[in-house]
Amino acid sequence: MPESAEARDAGRQAATAARRPFGQRLAAAMAARGPLCVGIDPHPGLLAGWGLADDAEGLRAFSLTVVEAVARQVAAVKPQVALYERHGSRGIAVLEETLAACAQADLLSIADAKRGDIGSTMAAYADAWLGEGSALAADAVTLSPYLGYESLRPALDLAASTGRGVFVLGLTSNPEGASVQHVGGTDSVARRIVAAVARENAPVEALGSTGLVIGATVGPDLVRLGIELGSTRAPILAPGLGAQGATGADMKAAFADCWPQILGTSSREILRTGPDRAALLQAALRTRDSLL
Protein backbone atom coordinates (compact mmCIF):
# COMPACT_ATOMS: atom_id res chain seq x y z
CA MET A 1 0.00 0.00 0.00
CA PRO A 2 1.21 3.58 -0.65
CA GLU A 3 2.65 5.28 2.40
CA SER A 4 0.16 7.67 4.02
CA ALA A 5 0.90 11.34 4.63
CA GLU A 6 0.73 10.66 8.36
CA ALA A 7 3.33 7.90 8.06
CA ARG A 8 5.63 10.13 6.02
CA ASP A 9 5.34 12.91 8.59
CA ALA A 10 6.04 10.48 11.41
CA GLY A 11 9.11 9.20 9.59
CA ARG A 12 10.42 12.70 9.05
CA GLN A 13 9.85 13.60 12.70
CA ALA A 14 11.69 10.46 13.77
CA ALA A 15 14.60 11.28 11.47
CA THR A 16 14.82 14.80 12.88
CA ALA A 17 14.64 13.55 16.46
CA ALA A 18 17.44 11.07 15.79
CA ARG A 19 19.72 13.67 14.20
CA ARG A 20 22.17 15.27 16.58
CA PRO A 21 22.59 19.06 16.29
CA PHE A 22 24.84 20.09 13.41
CA GLY A 23 27.46 21.59 15.73
CA GLN A 24 27.90 18.28 17.51
CA ARG A 25 28.12 16.36 14.26
CA LEU A 26 30.65 18.81 12.81
CA ALA A 27 32.79 18.72 15.95
CA ALA A 28 32.86 14.91 15.78
CA ALA A 29 33.76 14.94 12.09
CA MET A 30 36.55 17.46 12.64
CA ALA A 31 37.94 15.44 15.54
CA ALA A 32 37.90 12.23 13.51
CA ARG A 33 38.93 13.52 10.07
CA GLY A 34 40.59 16.90 10.59
CA PRO A 35 39.38 20.49 10.10
CA LEU A 36 39.10 20.59 6.30
CA CYS A 37 36.13 21.31 4.06
CA VAL A 38 36.66 20.60 0.36
CA GLY A 39 34.81 22.97 -1.94
CA ILE A 40 33.03 21.40 -4.90
CA ASP A 41 33.34 24.22 -7.44
CA PRO A 42 32.68 22.95 -10.97
CA HIS A 43 33.94 26.03 -12.81
CA PRO A 44 34.02 25.74 -16.60
CA GLY A 45 37.81 25.86 -16.54
CA LEU A 46 38.05 23.01 -14.05
CA LEU A 47 35.57 20.92 -16.04
CA ALA A 48 37.70 21.47 -19.14
CA GLY A 49 40.86 20.60 -17.21
CA TRP A 50 39.26 17.30 -16.25
CA GLY A 51 38.32 16.62 -19.88
CA LEU A 52 34.61 17.08 -19.12
CA ALA A 53 31.96 18.96 -21.06
CA ASP A 54 30.47 22.11 -19.54
CA ASP A 55 27.03 20.53 -19.21
CA ALA A 56 24.98 18.61 -16.69
CA GLU A 57 26.72 15.31 -17.44
CA GLY A 58 30.13 16.89 -16.90
CA LEU A 59 28.84 18.49 -13.74
CA ARG A 60 27.61 15.14 -12.46
CA ALA A 61 30.87 13.31 -13.18
CA PHE A 62 32.88 16.09 -11.53
CA SER A 63 30.75 16.31 -8.39
CA LEU A 64 30.39 12.61 -7.70
CA THR A 65 34.10 12.03 -8.32
CA VAL A 66 34.97 14.57 -5.62
CA VAL A 67 32.52 13.02 -3.16
CA GLU A 68 33.83 9.51 -3.85
CA ALA A 69 37.44 10.66 -3.51
CA VAL A 70 37.18 12.40 -0.14
CA ALA A 71 34.27 10.67 1.61
CA ARG A 72 35.18 9.52 5.13
CA GLN A 73 38.53 11.34 4.81
CA VAL A 74 37.56 15.00 5.40
CA ALA A 75 35.08 16.69 7.68
CA ALA A 76 32.81 18.22 5.02
CA VAL A 77 32.32 19.30 1.44
CA LYS A 78 30.84 22.55 0.18
CA PRO A 79 29.10 22.55 -3.21
CA GLN A 80 29.00 26.04 -4.76
CA VAL A 81 25.31 26.34 -5.62
CA ALA A 82 25.68 29.01 -8.34
CA LEU A 83 27.79 26.66 -10.45
CA TYR A 84 24.91 24.20 -10.49
CA GLU A 85 22.23 26.83 -11.06
CA ARG A 86 23.95 27.99 -14.25
CA HIS A 87 22.93 24.65 -15.81
CA GLY A 88 19.25 25.20 -15.03
CA SER A 89 16.97 22.42 -13.83
CA ARG A 90 19.41 19.70 -14.90
CA GLY A 91 22.12 21.33 -12.83
CA ILE A 92 19.85 21.51 -9.79
CA ALA A 93 19.09 17.81 -10.27
CA VAL A 94 22.84 17.11 -10.17
CA LEU A 95 23.12 19.15 -6.96
CA GLU A 96 20.32 17.08 -5.42
CA GLU A 97 22.14 13.89 -6.42
CA THR A 98 25.40 15.23 -5.01
CA LEU A 99 23.81 16.07 -1.65
CA ALA A 100 22.20 12.63 -1.54
CA ALA A 101 25.58 11.02 -2.26
CA CYS A 102 27.11 12.97 0.63
CA ALA A 103 24.40 11.77 2.99
CA GLN A 104 24.87 8.18 1.81
CA ALA A 105 28.63 8.45 2.41
CA ASP A 106 28.23 10.00 5.89
CA LEU A 107 29.94 13.15 4.60
CA LEU A 108 28.69 16.49 5.91
CA SER A 109 27.47 18.85 3.20
CA ILE A 110 27.41 22.66 3.32
CA ALA A 111 25.38 24.23 0.51
CA ASP A 112 27.16 27.45 -0.41
CA ALA A 113 24.02 29.33 -1.43
CA LYS A 114 24.44 32.63 0.49
CA ARG A 115 20.68 33.07 0.73
CA GLY A 116 19.14 36.10 2.42
CA ASP A 117 15.72 37.73 2.23
CA ILE A 118 12.76 38.65 4.42
CA GLY A 119 9.52 37.12 5.62
CA SER A 120 7.89 34.39 3.61
CA THR A 121 10.67 34.43 1.01
CA MET A 122 13.29 33.70 3.65
CA ALA A 123 11.04 30.98 5.04
CA ALA A 124 10.88 29.43 1.56
CA TYR A 125 14.66 29.48 1.25
CA ALA A 126 14.84 27.82 4.66
CA ASP A 127 12.43 25.08 3.60
CA ALA A 128 14.48 24.43 0.46
CA TRP A 129 17.90 24.15 2.09
CA LEU A 130 17.08 23.00 5.63
CA GLY A 131 13.62 21.43 5.59
CA GLU A 132 12.92 17.75 6.11
CA GLY A 133 11.91 16.08 2.87
CA SER A 134 13.54 18.68 0.60
CA ALA A 135 15.83 17.18 -2.02
CA LEU A 136 18.07 20.24 -1.60
CA ALA A 137 18.37 19.96 2.19
CA ALA A 138 22.03 19.98 3.17
CA ASP A 139 23.58 19.56 6.59
CA ALA A 140 24.14 23.33 6.57
CA VAL A 141 23.73 26.33 4.30
CA THR A 142 25.50 29.68 4.00
CA LEU A 143 23.37 32.79 4.61
CA SER A 144 23.77 36.52 3.98
CA PRO A 145 22.64 38.75 6.88
CA TYR A 146 22.75 42.08 5.06
CA LEU A 147 19.00 42.66 5.20
CA GLY A 148 19.44 42.55 8.96
CA TYR A 149 20.46 39.59 11.08
CA GLU A 150 16.92 38.89 12.26
CA SER A 151 15.75 38.57 8.66
CA LEU A 152 17.44 35.16 8.86
CA ARG A 153 15.19 34.02 11.72
CA PRO A 154 13.13 31.52 9.64
CA ALA A 155 16.32 29.70 8.66
CA LEU A 156 17.87 29.91 12.12
CA ASP A 157 14.77 28.45 13.73
CA LEU A 158 14.26 25.73 11.12
CA ALA A 159 17.90 24.68 11.34
CA ALA A 160 17.57 24.36 15.10
CA SER A 161 14.43 22.26 14.80
CA THR A 162 15.85 19.88 12.17
CA GLY A 163 19.34 19.43 13.61
CA ARG A 164 20.94 21.27 10.70
CA GLY A 165 23.21 24.31 10.68
CA VAL A 166 23.87 27.66 9.06
CA PHE A 167 26.99 29.70 8.34
CA VAL A 168 26.36 33.45 8.41
CA LEU A 169 28.61 35.74 6.37
CA GLY A 170 30.64 37.68 8.91
CA LEU A 171 33.91 39.05 7.56
CA THR A 172 34.89 38.20 4.00
CA SER A 173 38.10 38.83 2.10
CA ASN A 174 36.72 40.32 -1.12
CA PRO A 175 37.71 44.01 -1.42
CA GLU A 176 34.11 45.16 -1.82
CA GLY A 177 33.07 43.56 1.47
CA ALA A 178 34.82 46.22 3.52
CA SER A 179 32.44 48.93 2.26
CA VAL A 180 29.65 47.27 4.27
CA GLN A 181 31.24 44.94 6.80
CA HIS A 182 33.84 47.38 8.18
CA VAL A 183 31.48 50.34 8.60
CA GLY A 184 31.52 51.55 12.19
CA GLY A 185 35.13 50.65 13.03
CA THR A 186 35.25 48.94 16.41
CA ASP A 187 31.42 48.93 16.38
CA SER A 188 31.37 47.58 12.83
CA VAL A 189 28.60 45.76 11.01
CA ALA A 190 30.78 42.64 11.02
CA ARG A 191 31.32 42.85 14.78
CA ARG A 192 27.56 43.16 15.35
CA ILE A 193 26.91 40.09 13.20
CA VAL A 194 29.51 38.13 15.16
CA ALA A 195 27.85 39.23 18.42
CA ALA A 196 24.43 38.11 17.14
CA VAL A 197 25.82 34.68 16.26
CA ALA A 198 27.39 34.44 19.71
CA ARG A 199 23.98 35.08 21.28
CA GLU A 200 22.49 32.37 19.07
CA ASN A 201 25.01 29.84 20.37
CA ALA A 202 24.90 30.98 24.01
CA PRO A 203 22.64 28.11 25.19
CA VAL A 204 25.12 25.43 24.07
CA GLU A 205 28.22 24.42 25.99
CA ALA A 206 30.33 23.23 23.05
CA LEU A 207 30.33 23.97 19.33
CA GLY A 208 27.06 25.55 18.25
CA SER A 209 25.11 25.07 15.04
CA THR A 210 25.09 28.73 14.01
CA GLY A 211 28.38 29.32 12.30
CA LEU A 212 30.24 32.20 10.71
CA VAL A 213 31.98 32.64 7.38
CA ILE A 214 35.28 34.42 8.09
CA GLY A 215 37.83 34.71 5.28
CA ALA A 216 41.08 32.87 5.87
CA THR A 217 43.12 35.97 4.98
CA VAL A 218 41.35 38.58 7.16
CA GLY A 219 43.42 38.19 10.31
CA PRO A 220 44.57 41.85 10.34
CA ASP A 221 40.96 43.02 9.94
CA LEU A 222 39.87 40.95 12.94
CA VAL A 223 42.45 42.79 15.05
CA ARG A 224 41.69 46.23 13.62
CA LEU A 225 37.93 45.86 14.11
CA GLY A 226 38.29 44.34 17.58
CA ILE A 227 36.48 41.12 16.65
CA GLU A 228 36.97 38.23 19.06
CA LEU A 229 35.77 34.84 17.87
CA GLY A 230 36.76 32.45 20.63
CA SER A 231 33.69 33.10 22.81
CA THR A 232 31.14 32.78 19.99
CA ARG A 233 30.98 28.96 20.14
CA ALA A 234 30.50 29.25 16.39
CA PRO A 235 31.96 26.86 13.85
CA ILE A 236 33.95 29.12 11.54
CA LEU A 237 34.04 28.33 7.84
CA ALA A 238 37.26 29.91 6.59
CA PRO A 239 37.51 30.00 2.78
CA GLY A 240 40.74 31.07 1.11
CA LEU A 241 43.10 28.22 1.95
CA GLY A 242 45.40 27.30 -0.93
CA ALA A 243 44.82 29.00 -4.28
CA GLN A 244 43.50 32.18 -2.63
CA GLY A 245 46.74 32.64 -0.74
CA ALA A 246 46.28 31.47 2.84
CA THR A 247 48.43 28.69 4.30
CA GLY A 248 47.80 26.53 7.30
CA ALA A 249 50.46 28.48 9.21
CA ASP A 250 48.82 31.79 8.27
CA MET A 251 45.48 30.56 9.55
CA LYS A 252 46.88 29.26 12.82
CA ALA A 253 48.39 32.68 13.48
CA ALA A 254 45.23 34.59 12.51
CA PHE A 255 42.83 32.35 14.43
CA ALA A 256 44.96 31.41 17.42
CA ASP A 257 42.22 32.29 19.92
CA CYS A 258 39.61 30.07 18.28
CA TRP A 259 41.54 27.39 16.41
CA PRO A 260 39.33 24.46 17.52
CA GLN A 261 36.39 26.20 15.83
CA ILE A 262 38.05 26.64 12.44
CA LEU A 263 36.98 24.63 9.39
CA GLY A 264 39.43 25.57 6.65
CA THR A 265 38.09 25.48 3.11
CA SER A 266 40.05 24.75 -0.03
CA SER A 267 38.69 24.29 -3.55
CA ARG A 268 40.87 24.95 -6.59
CA GLU A 269 44.13 23.83 -4.98
CA ILE A 270 42.63 20.37 -4.52
CA LEU A 271 40.24 20.19 -7.48
CA ARG A 272 42.85 20.94 -10.12
CA THR A 273 44.54 17.60 -9.30
CA GLY A 274 41.51 15.68 -10.66
CA PRO A 275 39.97 13.72 -12.19
CA ASP A 276 42.15 11.00 -10.67
CA ARG A 277 40.52 10.08 -7.34
CA ALA A 278 43.79 9.08 -5.70
CA ALA A 279 45.37 12.41 -6.66
CA LEU A 280 42.35 14.31 -5.33
CA LEU A 281 42.52 12.45 -2.05
CA GLN A 282 46.25 13.02 -1.66
CA ALA A 283 45.82 16.74 -2.32
CA ALA A 284 43.02 16.90 0.23
CA LEU A 285 45.08 15.04 2.82
CA ARG A 286 48.10 17.33 2.28
CA THR A 287 45.88 20.34 2.79
CA ARG A 288 44.21 18.79 5.82
CA ASP A 289 47.58 17.95 7.37
CA SER A 290 48.68 21.57 7.03
CA LEU A 291 45.88 22.43 9.46
CA LEU A 292 46.80 19.86 12.11
| Residue 114 designated active-site | yes
Within a domain: 203:
yes
pLDDT tens string 172-201: 999 999 999 999 999 999 999 999 999 999
Q: Phi-psi bin for 155: left (phi > 0), alpha (psi -120 to 50), beta?
A: alpha
pLDDT, the chain, mean: 94
- Residue 108, Cβ neighbours under 10 Å: how many? 25
Within a domain: 154:
yes
pLDDT tens string 130-151: 999 999 999 999 999 999 999 9
pLDDT tens string 194-235: 999 999 999 999 999 999 999 999 999 999 999 999 999 999
Within a domain: 7:
no
Q: What is the pLDDT of residue 15?
A: 53
Within a domain: 206:
yes
- Considering the candidates 12, 114, 268, 277, report the single residue annotated as catalytic: 114
Within a domain: 113:
yes
Distance CA 109, CA 26 (A): 10
Question: Percent of the chain scored above 90 by pLDDT?
Answer: 90
Cα torsion through 46, 49, 51, 54, rounded to 10: 30
Q: How many domains does the chain have?
A: 1
Within a domain: 208:
yes
Reported as a pLDDT band with limits 50, 70 and 90, residue 246 is confident
- Statement: the pTM of the whole predicted model exceeds 0.85: yes
Residue 28, domain extent: 20-289
Within a domain: 148:
yes
- What CATH number does residue 63 fall under? 3.20.20.70
Within a domain: 60:
yes
Reported as a pLDDT band with limits 50, 70 and 90, residue 14 is very low
